[in-house]
Amino acid sequence: MARFDWPALMVAGLRGLGLRPAEFWALTPAELRLMLGQAGGAAPLARQRLDALLAAYPDERTRDGE
């Protein structure tokens, strides 16, 4: 389990984001990361990748046309 650098997080939240202490402590670590621009999630699907997926997995029509 990763440890949190609370002093650095407090500086980022209180000074950088201008949060009040109660607002800072009410956040979850995930919410704080999101506010700091560190969401860490996967990049959104670009059009080129979507087109590649559509070509690889085309919709198949059933016998009744749907």
Give the type of residue at 27. Answer: L
pLDDT one-digit tens code per residue, 1-48: 568 888 998 999 999 999 999 999 999 988 998 898 886 666 677 899
Q: Quick one: residue 18, left, alpha or beta (phi over 0 = left, psi -120 to 50 = alpha)?
A: left
pLDDT of residue 40: 64
- The model carries a pTM of 0.54
Give the type of residue at 24. Answer: F
pLDDT of residue 65: 60
pLDDT of residue 66: 56
How far is the C-alpha of 51 from the C-alpha of 66, rounded, in Å?
A: 21
User: Rounded to whole angstroms, what are the CA distances from 6 to 9, 10, 11, 25, 29?
Assistant: 5, 6, 8, 11, 11
pLDDT of residue 12: 92
